[in-house]
Chain A
């Protein structure tokens, strides 16, 4: 479904991604982990068109999307959440989601677009707060909205960037349940960036590990988490939970 070949991204003298290959098959849940600055978010930005890679190609369902602009990538069916949530602060929850329904799916404005937006809010459990301005939401609510916004372009592939960060253990548990629920309902393929390793152990079938822009391991979570290079990469950074 999504395939990266020799993806390389440099910022001046720093190589943020170094010849990274990856492949995600339809229906999979894949985790993307690595210490801070390892290139996880850069890879997301390259896939979703915020950065153009210097070398390599990104293929989505066989189409070359390397360097396509973000709104084109979104319309093609790749939804994305940001680590720092990106809501429209002065709009209501319903309006926030409706933007993507209108522009990402190309529905015309009317009762149908509002109904679609409402469905997505119901799905993430914010249906009763549709008329609340988003600036009044808590962080956990904003993260739910971020997921609904990502779903609003009707993606087949959803990229989640640290959706669990900043949530308490109870909220993390709810968020995991929500993600599984959404995946079942919509039949999505997921690529998840995460620092909370425990969360990934329970959710992912396969994990890709980046360190200093290079892929150092790939495989089932139990196997990857015991990989000597992965342990070494995480030991210095104090981020293993």
Chain B
């Protein structure tokens, strides 16, 4: 029993970091631009497929494919903002609602395109290190989990440094806290919003590859991931990088540990009961003042 508990605590934490990196970009766009990008998880899924095909057809490690995915998805994010969101923002009375419907539509289109292109079959990523593990005493750590953890933590650390310790990050925080005040201080809102979208979608790309190292996926998996994203963002607080990390780890732990005591299908029930409790007690997230 104790062994199982320690084992699932470790794997829960590793998985939790993946949830965090999957969600942090969603949290950022929501905080800075008031837009709930429902298609965030669909972009992650697209990255998972790109990594999958690179590894199965070209024998390239999916982690290495990130060298292409990250800049590509940055451009994609800027494009989404310029082409879709900006036009909606100019005409919508309620940007949060309109953009939610718009990006939901985008997610549905992306799901269907992926289904047509790549069939509804579930995919399992096979890398050179799949099935291998590192042992710390009796505790086994799957190599895929370890790599996804390192990748996730690295991404979140870089994002934290960007938001809190760079000049552009200062502008991002300014727009997030007060768009009017930021414009009056000479901050170019359009540029900050573009950068936010670019970074958010790029981290979705990393999140997708990280998730594909742990879970199987098919063209509709993005909606399952979206549920985790909402959990992380509500628990961690909108726009908070550290909050997303903390929330991801807590959710990973909950998934891991409750799996020891109850059947796996019941784990989501535990998560959502916890979420309802949280919304009752701390509606603006754990770290918010």
Contacts and interface: CB of A to CB of B under 8 A. Distances in A.
Interface of A: 48-50, 69-71, 74-75, 79-80, 82, 86-91, 95, 98-100, 102-105, 108-109, 135, 149-150, 152-153
Given A88-B174, A91-B173, A109-B167, A99 B187 contact: yes
Nearest to B188: A71
B173 A150 contact: no
A82 B180 contact: yes
A102 B170 contact: yes
10 contacts: A70-B184, A74-B186, A79-B184, A80-B184, A82-B180, A86-B178, A88-B182, A90-B289, A150-B184, A152-B185
A86 B171 contact: no
Nearest to A150: B184
B183 interface: yes
Contacts of A80: 184
B186 A71 contact: yes
Contacts of A75: 186
Contacts of B178: 86-89
Nearest to B182: A99
A105 B185 CA distance: 9
Nearest to B189: A71
B185 A90 contact: no
B177 interface: yes
Contacts, number: 79
Contacts of B189: 69-71
B181 interface: yes
Given A50-B183, A71-B189, A86-B180, 14 more contacts: A49-B183, A50-B180, A74-B185, A75-B186, A87-B181, A88-B173, A98-B170, A99-B171, A99-B185, A99-B187, A100-B184, A100-B185, A103-B171, A152-B185
Interface of B: 167, 170-171, 173-174, 177-178, 180-190, 289
Contacts of B167: 102, 108-109
A91 B177 contact: yes
Contact of A103 (B173, B177, B185, B289): B185
A99 B189 CA distance: 13
Contacts of B289: 90, 135
Contacts of A103: 171, 185-188
Given A86-B178, A88-B178, A89-B178, A74 B184 contact: yes
B95 to A, nearest CB: 16
Contacts of B173: 88, 90-91
A212 to B, nearest CB: 26
Top 7 nearest A-B pairs (CB, nearest first) are: A104-B186, A100-B185, A86-B181, A70-B183, A103-B186, A88-B177, A74-B186
A57 B197 CA distance: 34
Nearest to A106: B186
Nearest to B183: A70
Nearest to A70: B183
A89 B187 contact: no
A71 to B, nearest CB: 5
A153 B181 CA distance: 12
Nearest to B171: A103
Given A88-B173, A88-B174, A102-B170, A149 B185 contact: yes
Nearest to A82: B180
Nearest to A153: B186
A74 B184 CA distance: 6
B177 to A, nearest CB: 4
A152 B185 CA distance: 7
A98 B183 CA distance: 14
A102 to B, nearest CB: 6
A100 B177 contact: no
A189 B190 CA distance: 30
B183 A99 contact: no
A70 B174 CA distance: 15
Contact of B181 (A88, A98, A135): A88
Given A99-B170, A99-B171, A102-B167, A90 B177 contact: yes
B166 to A, nearest CB: 9
Nearest to A84: B180
B183 A149 contact: no
A91 B180 CA distance: 15
Contacts of B187: 71, 99, 103
A99 B187 CA distance: 8
Nearest to A104: B186
B197 to A, nearest CB: 18
Given A71-B183, A87-B181, A99 B174 contact: yes
